[in-house]
Structure 1
């Protein structure tokens, strides 16, 4: 419960500060309202699922997620709200003590999706892969999402990956293949995760 309250407070305070810097008092109030719209559901998830373990590790990860990696956590909170509005369910057993929020259903059919500390549609087979994305976000903090977005944009417009892509094993036959079999798995964060998946003992 303490982690949930602290999370909501941090998100609201940062949003209020950003709003005030860009829009004065009106911006401050707008920032608070917007922040609470995703911070409160996220805090509810933290509290009801017992996401952060009551340990030194749990405290350290909570602090990391609400300082250096706060932009990722906020994006994940917004992602959680979108999932809840779509009728998706919080996976409490899988979330408990994991330092991440799990949603039962997939946000994108056929794929587990991770934003910040929120994973939608994870399975035992994909859990290790998605956990690496959370680690990447925690390591790179505010740089993570811009770097991911930039890599997607560059590889979509300038497909350097075609040079080293496995054309025989994974041929690109249409636009859908171009993005799902080409751009997506070759972005730096996915390539890292898939490479580690292949090395799994």
Structure 2
């Protein structure tokens, strides 16, 4: 329970600081309320599923996720709230002592998506791939999301990946495949994760 309470308090404080910087005293109040709401949901999930084990590893992961990687944790917490609003369920057995919050349903039946420490729609066959993204976020902290977004933007408007893409086995022959088979598996975070586990979509 202590991890969940601390998470909610830390996210409320982060919201308050961001709000203060963005909008003065009123921003502080709004940021604190939003941070508390999002943090309370995330804290509930952390406690309910026993996400962080009460050992040295669990403590280290919690500290990293709520300091250096706090931006990723907050964005992941917002992502979790959206899933729960749409009626998706927490996967407690998979989340327990894993250092990640797992949601049974994904954004799409075809893909698992991980943001921060929140992993939605995964299964045992691809969990290692998703865990790579959690590690990347913890390693790069506040740089992770901007670097991923920058790579998506770059590869969308300047598709240098076409130079080394496997055109024979994964042809780009319609608009949706440009993103699904082209941009997506070539951005740096996905390319690394696919090298560690999984075959890129074709």
State the TM-score bracket (shorter-chain normalisation): over 0.9
SS of residue in 2 equivalent to 1:156: helix
Indicate the residue corresponding to 1:122 in structure 2.
122
Please tell me the root mean square deviation across aligned C-alpha atoms, in Å. Answer: 1.1
Unpaired segments ≥5 residues, structure 1: none
Q: Which residue of 2 aligns with 1:48?
A: 48
Residue equivalent to 2:81: 81
* Distance (whole Å) between structure 1 residues aligned to residue 54 and residue 33 of structure 2: 30
Structure 1 length normalisation: TM-score?
Answer: 0.97
Give the TM-score normalised by the residue count of structure 2.
0.96
Q: Deviations over 1:120-165 (max 9, x none)?
A: 0110111000000000000000000000000000000000000000
Cα distance in structure 2, aligned partners of 1:185 and 1:81: 27
Match of 2:60 in 1: 60
Could you say what secondary structure the match of 1:171 adopts? coil
Partner SS state of residue 169, structure 1: coil
Aligned residue number for residue 134 of structure 1: 134
Matched, 1:169 2:169: yes
Q: Which runs of 5+ in 2 are unaligned?
A: none
Contact 2:8 2:40 in 1 (8 A): yes
The offset of 1:34, in angstroms, is 1.3
| Cα drift, residue 65 of structure 1 | 0.1
